[in-house]
Amino acid sequence: MKTLYTAISILIFILLFSIFSFNYISKSKEEITNILNSIENNITKKENIENTKINIKYLEEQWQKKENLLSILTKHEILDNIRTNISTLMPLIENQENGILLSEIKKIKTYLIMMIDEEKISFKNLL
């Protein structure tokens, strides 16, 4: 009976953890996307370059904070790609390569969508 309760507890724990995991990934995706949107706005509205740099710095910090936990929850490949792309943003803004910078932001957003898509309960993921 003790083993049975342990087994049920493990299943409940895993189920709760999966809910937490999905929420964390989706919250992280939202937060990072918001920062990316503000960087995108800065560039399109041709705002002060220093503000954009501050936003990129903030993005790097936020990603560093989230990446550790995310690496436990989702595939490392996507996270590595996002990290690589984020690391290119600062040199691009310093060199005023706004066009490439916007396309890099687009790439990061796509990876973020892929990250959350892999966790969604869908026909594609289940089969």
Interface with another protein, residue 68, by CB under 8 A: no
Q: Rule CB under 8 A: is residue 113 a binding residue for another protein?
A: no
Q: How far is the CB of 19 from another protein (least distance, A)?
A: 8
Distance of alpha carbon 31 from alpha carbon 27, whole angstroms: 6
In the complex with another protein, the residue whose CB is nearer, 6 or 44, is 6
Using CB under 8 A as the binding rule, the residues of this chain from 70 to 89 that contact another protein are 71-77
Please state, in angstroms and as integers, the Cα–Cα distance from residue 77 to each residue in 29, 30, 50, 74, 123, following that order: 16, 20, 31, 9, 22
* CA dihedral over 80, 86, 88, 90, signed as positive or negative: negative
Binding site for another protein (CB under 8 A): 3-4, 6-8, 10-11, 14-15, 17-19, 21-22, 71-77, 118-121, 125-126
